[in-house]
C-alpha cells in the first residue's frame, strides 16, 4: 500500500505524497476479519493454555479512574507481579512448562501515579527477592481526548518520565487526522519522541481508530506514527464509543507489516478497549500471528491494554489446568 517514497531511516516527516494511493476496501477488510475470527475458535486444550499464558505476559494491566489512589496502584502492581493465584501458578509450572516467572508486561496509570508504581514494584522485588520485568506505562498528552495545547501535552510527558515511566502512551490530535494534516501530526509526535528518547522511554502512539472516520485514516495515522518513530501503535484509549475491532486491527497490522517490508524496522502493536474475555485475547493473538508472524509474539512487540480481562483468563485457565470449575474463593479479586 505504501510507495517507494519511504527511505530506510527513522524518524521521518510524513510527506503527504506517501498517502496519495491509499484506498482501503472496507467490505473486504470486514470479510477477512470475520474469516480470521472463525479460525481462532476450537483450539485444543494445550494450545489454548499456552495462548492464554502468553496473553497474560502481554497485558498492560491498567487503572485509569478518577478515584485512583496509592492503595489502588499498590494492588495493581501486586496483581501484575502475581497475576494468578498461587495454586494455579504452581499447577501451570508443574504441568505446562512454565519456565520463567509469570507476570504481566506492564502496569498502566496516569502520570501522577508513576511514582506510586515505582515504590510498589521496588518493594515487591525486595520482599520476594525475585526480579521481574513489569514496566511502568503512563498515558499522557491529554488522555483520552488530546484536546490540550501542545506545550501542555509535552509537559505531561516530561512529568511522566521524571516520575519513573518506562513507556508513554500518547494520544494523537484527531483533528489533524480528520483534516488530513499528516505532516503536522508527525511533527507533534516527533517532539513527543524526543522527550521520550532523552530518558530512554518507549513511545506508544494511540491512534484512537474508532474516531478517525474511515479505515483509510486508520492506515494513514498508523503509518504517520511509525514514520515519526513510534515504538508501538495502539488501537484505542478505551474511552471511545468504538474501540478495538478486528477490522481495525487488520488494517493496523497490515500497516505495520508494510512498514517493516519497506524499512526493515519492526514496530509493536497494542490492542486496547473492549477486551473482556479469554476468547477476545485468543482472537487478537491469532490476528497478529496471521498478519505479522510469530516474530511479533513477544512483550516487546505485542501488548494488550486491559483491566478486567485478566480475571476471565484466570477463570478459564483454572478450568483447563485443574479440570474443574473454581469456587469463588479460589480466584483473584
The residues annotated as belonging to the active site are 169, 234, 270
Q: Residue 215: exposed, middle, or buried by beta-carbon count in 10 A (0-12, 13-18, 19+)? A: buried
Q: C-alpha distances in angstroms, 125 versus 98, 130, 133, 167, 172?
A: 20, 6, 10, 20, 35
Closest CA to 92 of 55, 43, 53: 53
Q: Tell me phi and psi for residue 28, to 5 degrees.
A: -65, -40
Whether the link from the prior residue into 11 is cis, omega within 30° of 0, is yes
Amino acid at each position: 500500500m505504501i510507495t517507494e517514497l519511504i527511505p530506510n531511516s527513522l524518524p521521518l516527516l510524513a510527506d503527504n505524497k506517501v498517502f496519495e494511493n491509499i484506498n482501503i476496501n472496507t467490505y473486504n477488510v470486514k470479510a477477512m476479519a470475520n474469516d480470521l475470527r472463525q479460525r481462532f475458535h476450537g483450539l485444543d486444550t494445550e494450545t489454548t493454555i499456552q495462548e492464554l499464558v502468553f496473553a497474560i505476559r502481554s497485558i498492560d494491566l491498567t487503572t485509569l479512574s478518577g478515584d485512583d489512589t496509592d492503595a489502588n496502584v499498590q494492588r495493581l502492581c501486586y496483581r501484575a507481579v502475581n497475576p494468578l493465584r498461587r495454586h494455579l501458578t504452581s499447577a501451570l509450572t508443574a504441568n505446562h512448562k512454565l519456565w520463567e516467572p509469570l507476570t504481566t508486561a506492564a502496569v498502566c496509570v496516569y502520570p501522577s501515579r508513576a511514582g506510586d508504581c515505582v515504590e510498589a514494584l521496588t518493594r515487591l522485588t525486595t520482599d520476594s527477592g525475585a526480579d521481574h520485568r513489569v514496566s511502568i506505562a503512563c498515558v499522557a498528552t491529554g488522555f483520552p481526548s488530546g484536546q490540550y495545547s501542545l506545550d501542555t501535552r509535552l509537559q505531561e510527558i516530561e512529568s511522566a518520565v521524571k516520575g519513573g515511566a518506562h513507556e508513554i502512551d500518547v494520544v494523537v490530535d484527531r483533528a489533524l487526522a480528520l483534516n488530513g494534516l499528516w505532516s503536522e501530526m508527525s511533527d507533534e509526535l516527533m517532539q513527543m519522541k524526543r522527550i521520550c528518547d532523552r530518558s530512554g522511554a518507549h513511545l506508544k502512539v494511540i491512534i484512537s481508530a474508532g474516531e478517525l472516520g474511515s479505515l483509510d485514516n486508520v492506515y494513514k495515522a498508523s503509518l504517520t506514527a511509525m514514520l515519526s518513530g513510534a515504538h508501538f501503535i495502539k488501537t484505542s484509549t478505551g474511552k471511545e464509543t468504538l474501540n478495538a475491532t478486528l477490522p481495525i486491527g487488520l488494517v493496523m497490522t497490515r500497516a505495520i507489516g508494510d512498514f517493516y517490508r519497506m524499512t526493515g524496522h519492526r514496530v509493536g502493536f497494542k490492542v486496547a478497549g473492549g477486551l473482556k474475555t479469554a476468547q477476545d485475547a485468543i482472537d487478537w493473538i491469532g490476528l497478529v500471528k496471521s498478519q505479522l508472524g510469530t516474530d511479533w509474539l513477544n512483550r516487546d512487540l505485542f501488548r494488550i491494554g486491559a483491566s478486567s480481562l485478566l480475571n476471565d483468563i484466570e477463570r478459564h485457565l483454572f478450568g483447563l489446568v485443574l479440570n474443574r470449575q473454581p469456587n469463588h474463593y479460589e480466584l483473584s479479586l
